[in-house]
Amino acid sequence: MAVIVRIPTPLRSLTGGAEEVQLEDVANVSEVIDTLETRHPGMKDRLLDDKGVRKFVNIYVGEEDIRFLEGLRTAVKDGEHISIVPAIAGG
Amino acid sequence: MGMTRRPIARDQATIAILGVGGLGAPAALALAHAGVGKLILIDDDEVDRSNLHRQILFRDADVGRPKLQATADALARRGLSTKTELREGRLDPMHTELLAGADVIVECSDNFATKFLSADAARLRRVPIVHGAAIRWIGTALAVGPEGGPCYRCLFEDIPPGAQAGCDIAGVVGPVCGVIGALQAHLALQALEGDAAFGTLATLDGLRDELRVRRIRARADCALCGSHPTIDAIDAARYHPAEE
C-alpha cells in the first residue's frame, strides 16, 4: 500500500527538493509522519509539537483537514494524497 | 451558505488594501479596473529597487518614493473612475482604525503579526477580509466572512514561533504575487456580491502549475469565531511570536 505526500516548498529542504514523497505500508497519518521522519530527519519536529499537529500547519488527507477527521489516527488508503499546508507570510 | 448581507454595488463599494506591495499592487490594479468606487490604500513604506520585479505599479522613477503616492499616481495615469484614499501608517494594535470604513479588507501584508492582527480586527469590526500570502513559488488566498466561521484562526491558530523568512530573505517569484493578488481581488469582488466566497482557500504551487481550491471548515474551538471566543478585543500581547 502506498500513499503520496505532497511536500510544501518550506519543507523541501528536508526532502532534497522532492515535491512528493511516496510511502509504503502506512495505515494512518501518525505512521506517515513517523515514516517521513525516518526517511527525512527533522520533518516530525516541523509538523508536530507535544500537543499534536502544530498550530500553524494543516494536514489534509484527500481534501479533508485531519482535524475534522480523526487527527493523527486518520486512516490513509492506498493511492491517497496527503497534503501539508503550512502558514506562509510574505507578499 | 446563504446570503446574509445586502450586495454592495461595485461603484459604491470601499475596499481597503492593507499593504501595496507584491500582492497589493495587482489587487489594486484589478479592483480599480473592475470599477470599485473607492480604494483605501494603507502602507508606510517606500519603493525599493528590489520591489520592482513584483510590485507592478512602480517604475524605476518611483524608487525612494512613498508606495502610497506611487500607487495612487499609477492608478491615476490610467484615468479610471476609482477614487483613492491614502492612509500612511502600519497596522499595529494601537492603530486598527486604519481599517475603518471598508466594506471589504484585502490583506496583503508580509508578516504573520499583521495577518493575525488584521484577522482579529476584521472580525471584531464584522468586515469581510481576504488574506493573501506569497513566498518563493507558493501563494495562498483565503476569503473570510464578517462573522468568520471559518476564519484565518480556524486555519492557522496562532503566530508561528521564532523568526520567519519573508520575501526580503526567502525571495518570491513575481508572477506568483500577480496570481495571488488577482485572486484576492476576485474574492473581494465576490464578497461584495454575497457570501459564496467565504471559506475558500486557494493554494498556488507555481513550480507544479497547480492551483488547489478548498473549502475550509470552521473550528468550534476557534479563539476568534468559535462557539466560545476568547478574542473580544485587540490585545497587543497577542501579536508577538513565541520563542522557539
ipTM score of complex: 0.82
Q: List pLDDT tens digits, range B6-23.
A: 899 999 999 999 999 999
- Among the ranges B39-43, B109-113, B211-215, which has the highest mean pLDDT value? B39-43
Q: For residues B26 and B50, is the Cβ–Cβ distance under 8 A?
A: no
As a whole number of angstroms, the distance between CA A6 and CA A32 comes to 12
As a whole number of angstroms, the distance between CA A74 and CA A57 comes to 16
Cβ <8 Å between A9 and B21: no
Cβ <8 Å between A56 and B208: no
Residue A87's Cβ-side half-sphere holds a number of Cα atoms within 13 Å equal to 24
- What pLDDT is recorded for position A10? 82
Task: Tell me which chain A residues have a C-beta less than 8 angstroms from the C-beta of B106.
Answer: none
- What pLDDT is recorded for position A91? 79
- Grid coordinates of B26: 495587482
As a whole number of angstroms, the distance between CA A8 and CA B62 comes to 35
CA distances, A26 to each of A3, A21, A79, B244 (Å): 8, 13, 11, 30
- Scanning the structure block, which residue is given the C-alpha cell 508578516? B111
- Among the ranges A2-11, B25-34, B129-138, B169-178, which has the highest mean pLDDT value? B25-34
Q: Nearest-CA neighbor of B34 among B86, B142, B89, B106?
A: B106
- What pLDDT is recorded for position B185? 98
CA angle (B187, B47, B110) in 5-degree steps: 45
According to DSSP, the β-strands at A20-24 and A81-86 are unpaired
Is residue B164 predicted with pLDDT exceeding 70?
Answer: no
Cβ <8 Å between B112 and A89: yes
- Grid coordinates of B189: 469582488
Tell me how far the alpha carbon of residue B220 is from its chain's centroid: 24
Tell me the catalytic residues of B.
Answer: 167
Question: Is B185 among the domain residues?
Answer: yes
Task: Tell me which chain B residues have a C-beta less than 8 angstroms from the C-beta of A58.
Answer: 155-156
Average pLDDT of the segment spanning B97-101:
98
As a whole number of angstroms, the distance between CA A73 and CA A85 comes to 18
- Grid coordinates of B113: 503579526
Q: pTM for the complete prediction?
A: 0.92
Kindly state the DSSP code that residue A9 receives in the 8-state scheme. Answer: G
Is residue B4 predicted with pLDDT exceeding 90?
Answer: no
B162 CB-contact burial (10 Å; exposed 0-12 / middle 13-18 / buried 19+)? exposed
**B140, B156, B207 member nearest A19 (Cβ):** B207
Is residue B171 predicted with pLDDT exceeding 80?
Answer: no
Q: How many CB atoms lie within 10 A of CB B234?
A: 16
Q: Nearest-CA neighbor of B19 among B51, B49, B62?
A: B51
Average pLDDT of the segment spanning B220-243:
92
Q: List pLDDT tens digits, range A32-85.
A: 999 999 999 999 999 999 989 998 999 999 988 999 999 999 999 999 999 998
- Scanning the structure block, which residue is given the C-alpha cell 517521513? A36
CATH number at B64 reads: 3.40.50.720
Domain boundaries, given as residue ranges, for chain A: 2-86
Average pLDDT of the segment spanning B163-189:
85
**Residue numbers of the domain that contains B162:** 10-239
Interface of B with A in 150-169 (CB under 8 A): 155-160, 164-167
Question: Is B5 among the domain residues?
Answer: no
Preceding omega of B150 cis (within 30 degrees of 0): yes
- Percent of chain B having pLDDT more than 90? 82
At residue B143 the predicted structure's pLDDT band, cuts being 50, 70 and 90, is: very high
According to DSSP, the β-strands at A64-65 and A81-86 are unpaired
- Give the CATH architecture of domain A2-86: Roll (3.10)
Task: Tell me which chain A residues have a C-beta less than 8 angstroms from the C-beta of B212.
Answer: 83
At residue B162 the predicted structure's pLDDT band, cuts being 50, 70 and 90, is: low
Mean pLDDT of all residues belonging to chain B = 93
Average pLDDT of the segment spanning A28-34:
97
Determine the distance in angstroms separating the CA of A30 from the nearest CA of chain B, rounded to an integer. 20
Question: Is B76 among the domain residues?
Answer: yes
How many distinct structural domains can be found in chain B?
A: 1
